[in-house]
A and B are shown apart, each in its own frame.
Chain A
Amino acid sequence: MTTLGQMELSRRTLLKGGGGLVLYFAISPRRLPAQEAPGPTAEPQQLPGSLSDSPFLDSWIRIESDGSITVFTGKAELGQGIRTALTQIAAEQLRVEFSRIELVTADTARTPDEGYTAGSQSMQHSGTAILHAAAYLRRMMIGFAAEALGVSANDLKVEDGVVVSSAGDKRSYGQLVSGRSLHVTVPDQAGFFDPENYTVMGQSLPRVDIPAKLTGQQSYVHDLKLDGMVHARVVRPAKPSARLANLDTSEVEKMPGVLRVVRDGNYLGVIAEGEFQAIKAMQALQSAAQWEGGASLPADADIYEHLMRLPAVSTVVHGPETPTSPPGGARIVEATYTRPYQMHGSIGPSCAVGHFQNGQLTIWSHTQGVYPDRTAIAEMTNMDEQAVRVIHMEGAGCYGHNGADDAAADAALLARALPGRPVRVQWMRDHEHQWEPYGSAMVVKVQGSVLVTGEITSWNYEVWSNPHTTRPGPAGNLLPAQLISGAFQPEAPTNIPLPAGGADRNAVPGYSIANARVVEHFIAEMPLRTSALRSLGAYMNVFALESFMDELAFAASVDPVEFRLARLEDPRARDVVTTAADAFGWNDWARRPGHGRGFAYARYKNLAAYCAVALELDVDRATGRIRIGRAVAACDSGHAVNPDGIRNQIEGGLVQSASWTLFEQVRFDGDGIQSADWAGYPIMRFPSVPETVGVHVIDRPGEPFLGTGEASQGPAAAAIANAVADAIGVRIRDLPLQPERVRTAMQV
């Protein structure tokens, strides 16, 4: 935002606001620095969170004259609990009963554009915006009440949305807001918070969405029923890039309930009155369609060599231009780590409902980004963006960019083929498994050295990876748009730059290591389509980095926790490490055969939540099977708005990461993706989940919110790998740690 733009905004606000507002604005802290700015070239102060993009109060909160309060967020509930946490923030700052607040989530017709609900940023972006907006609104209300009652603001307090004076005079928010505009810029409220007096933020309030989900209320887009709604299924090519050579649809069109066969280039779908009728028609279409050509995939066993032969953009992202050589006398350790393609594997396959009527297209979708999806769908259908509305409804957990956006595009194409009737499309299991974009296969090579004193004397780290974000925005990133005639081409992928990073997320060690050097090899060409899977490159980088820390600690004969603490300066990092180690009982741990303990730490993205994991496990020497026993995590997410919500995320991330780490690998060969269902892509089942998982939340009242949703993915993986090495005395550097791999390692 330019200085000129900022002045424009302020002038417009002043013109629109009532007299009280002008007075208020004249004293608002936000304006003072602007007026005192040294000159026109000064950078405007960045507003907190998503206020930087949506600065107006009425984008976030509206109060009706009857006192009803609606809070708006551009972020979506994905099962991470933000509906509850964001409402807590608003209730606390507005001093209003929690249950009185209605929260509206991502909807292009109603909410601010907050891009994607991704990167563990909902609390940082939306939570921070609502925190400041609600605090400002409360202060405004007190200001108006002071004026109306002719008393000092210091004489007023707020009780459940009513401003009350010491004499007992009252004005409700509804009365105070009546006839006034809330279309004003929200100034930074830093300095006006009093976390020591909070009664709602910081409480583990039960999630507002859970009772409905557990009793069968309409909760998901999958459950949406609209008048006249019909059902659709899609038929995907036999393999990626295959061409639809031949298809006779006449028999399918005669099947019971079939309303329309939709064929456009290589795009194929069918709409029927009933859902099972649509499935049977889909099966018939699948048998009738003849496909030609298609991409030839390498074998999954050869993928790492294949990737490393592809053209890469290589960049030193951290440290000296040239590698530091290990000094004489140092012990040198070299290691190569690999991670296969892994899938989001949503339990509910992607689903969307589309309705095209009178030139307007409405899509209900479990997308993470209603606005970018609207842009992409409008481009794909050659419609004006204003004629397309995308409304978020929950789906099954997505854990990143899965099939949601593509299913939304399916709904758009299918609904346009049958104007006037809402069309619900749901993928089959094989569609989800074979066509979702995967988490990238990756390779990390590290060479480091350590002295007997424990000093790390060199650290040269290189990571090879495919893209970690190929989300829509451009239509070409939607799978259906790539299939229709006049196919849209995918956008050339780019890496998310550091400090957040994509392929190199968490590749830079959070430890003080002199001359640590990190090189990223970004491979844009994708043998398999890849995109954002929970934590992006951080899962692999933390697995590799934290495995390597243990390898160096072992070489230096230093305890792994001590080895980490010796080069961690940030006191909050030290706190999570010592909390996890103490809660686990690291120092008193008793060894027995086949039993191992492992530790790992990372601060997600090196800028979000801090997380450390300690765990123990048993390795069955006969079968190679790993059984996780006790796992303990410690987490610092800044100000903990809902501690149980944080525990749920950290615990869930840990268990999910354990599943990735122990079991998961997308299988493929020259004939295509072979992981077509849960038999071909096994994930963790109940008998294999840890015996116990404990999460210790370190609360930092008043500190900024730090994204938590992805923080335990990396540390959990590395802690498991470190514990396996501890148990069997051999380091396994290739994921997943499947029994046959463990057996092979033990034989060496």
Chain B
Amino acid sequence: MIGLRVNGNRFETESDPETPLLYVLRNEMQLNGAKFGCGLGQCGSCTVLVDNRPVFSCLTPIAMLAEREITTLEGLGSIDNPGPVQRAFIEEQAAQCGYCIPGMIMRAHALLSENSAPDEAIIREALEPSLCRCGTHMRILRAVHRASKGLQEQASAAGESNR
């Protein structure tokens, strides 16, 4: 029995400890956000956050994750109340097939948590591990800039109200 903390909830699984996190998320917890892409850590479709850092859930055995804080796409918001990065992607219509986008959103979220005002080069570098095949890259970049702008506006508004 391994206890996982996913999106703030505790979940216990009896799966083999070497099972990659991705299969527990998708099949036992019904969390569809993280996707299987390659199983090799080459494409980033399976990206989730562990203690706020992006990891490839297709490669990470659950044995390594006991009591670590796991965040998936579903932890950022819902269809009725999307999180700021999700909202920015929706507003920019930054998807074609959309399969890779959850991984992009997780990576963008991790970046913006550390640096709310990254420049273009930093964003590109941060998204480098994630592949998109539809060629939606330009919209994805715009969405991350939009989310960044939103966060900065939020921060300056918070600063104003604290003054």
Interfacial residues, chain A to chain B (CB-CB below 8 A)? 78-81, 206-207, 209-220, 222-223, 225, 231, 256, 274-277, 345-349, 394-397, 399, 426, 428-429, 644, 648-649, 651-659, 677-679, 683-687, 689-690, 692-693
Contact = CB atoms under 8 A, between A and B. Distances in A.
Interface string B18-34: 01100100110011110
A247 to B, nearest CB: 24
B39 A429 contact: yes
B158 interface: no
B136 interface: yes
B138 A79 contact: no
Given A348-B37, A651-B138, A686-B127, A217 B32 contact: yes
A687 B130 CA distance: 11
Given A685-B131, A687-B124, A397 B102 contact: no
Nearest to B19: A276
Contacts of A678: 38, 40, 42-43, 131
Given A79-B95, A220-B99, A655-B135, 17 more contacts: A211-B90, A213-B95, A213-B102, A214-B73, A220-B35, A223-B26, A231-B27, A274-B27, A276-B16, A347-B97, A347-B131, A397-B96, A429-B38, A652-B135, A654-B135, A656-B135, A686-B141
B70 interface: no
B124 A210 contact: no
A216 B33 contact: yes
Contacts of A78: 97
B131 A211 contact: no
A657 B134 CA distance: 10
A154 to B, nearest CB: 40
Contact of A217 (B79, B90, B123): B79
Contact of A397 (B73, B128, B133): B133
B interface secondary structure, majority: loop
A426 B36 contact: yes
User: Which of B27, B40, B97 has most chain A Cβ within 10 Å?
Assistant: B97
A683 B131 contact: yes
Contacts of A690: 138
A214 B134 contact: no
B56 interface: no
B132 interface: yes
B78 interface: yes
A217 B74 CA distance: 9
- The interface centre, meaning the residue of B35, B42, B100, B132 with most chain A CB atoms within 10 A of its CB, is B132
Contacts of B38: 349, 429, 677-678
Given A209-B98, A652-B134, A656-B135, A349 B36 contact: yes
Nearest to B45: A347
The list of the 6 closest CB pairs from A to B, nearest first, reads A79-B97, A655-B135, A216-B33, A213-B98, A397-B97, A396-B99
A216 B137 contact: no
A687 B82 contact: no
B100 A225 contact: no
A79 B42 contact: no
A223 B89 CA distance: 21
B103 to A, nearest CB: 9
B23 A276 contact: yes
A207 B135 contact: no
A347 B37 contact: yes
B147 interface: no
Interface string B69-113: 000111001110010001001100101111111100100000000
Given A211-B82, A348-B36, A686-B137, A275 B101 contact: no
B160 interface: no
B43 A397 contact: no
Nearest to A80: B96
A274 B15 CA distance: 9
A685 B124 CA distance: 9
Contacts of B27: 225, 231, 274-275
B59 to A, nearest CB: 12
A207 B96 CA distance: 9
Among A215, A219, A426, residue most surrounded by chain B Cβ atoms (within 10 Å): A215
A677 B42 contact: yes
A655 B96 CA distance: 13
A207 B101 CA distance: 15
A225 B23 CA distance: 13
Contacts of A81: 96
A659 B37 contact: no
A78 B36 CA distance: 18
A348 B137 contact: no
Contacts of B45: 347-348
B139 interface: yes
Contact of A219 (B15, B26, B32, B40): B32
Contact of A79 (B32, B82, B96): B96
A210 B99 contact: no
Given A429-B38, A678-B42, A215 B82 contact: yes
B40 A429 contact: yes
A215 B77 contact: yes
Interface in B104-157: 105, 123-125, 127-128, 130-139, 141
Nearest to A278: B23
Contacts of B19: 274, 276
Contacts of B77: 215
Contacts of A394: 97
Nearest to B30: A225
Contact of B139 (A219, A349, A648): A648
Contacts of A679: 40, 42
Please indicate which of the listed interface residues B32, B39, B79, B127 has the most CB atoms of chain A within 10 Å of its own CB.
Answer: B32
Contacts of A220: 32, 35, 99
Contacts of A396: 35, 37, 97, 99-100, 133
Contacts of A395: 97, 99
B96 A648 contact: yes
A272 B137 CA distance: 37
B135 A348 contact: no
Nearest to A84: B93
A630 to B, nearest CB: 12
Contact of B133 (A209, A683, A689): A683
A683 B100 CA distance: 14
Contacts of B73: 214-216
Contacts of A275: 23, 26-27
A652 B23 contact: no
Nearest to A344: B133
Contacts of A429: 37-40, 42
Contacts of A223: 26, 32
Contacts of B16: 256, 276-277
Contacts of B137: 655, 684, 686, 689
Contacts of B74: 215-216
A214 B90 contact: yes
A616 to B, nearest CB: 16
Nearest to B130: A686
Contacts of B101: 213-214
B46 to A, nearest CB: 10
Nearest to B86: A214
A450 B82 CA distance: 60
A210 B39 contact: no
B39 A347 contact: no
A276 B90 contact: no
A434 B56 CA distance: 23
Given A213-B101, A215-B86, A396-B99, A686 B133 contact: no
Contact of B98 (A214, A349, A689): A214
Contacts of A277: 16
A686 B23 CA distance: 27
Contacts of A655: 135-138
A222 B46 CA distance: 13
B150 to A, nearest CB: 15
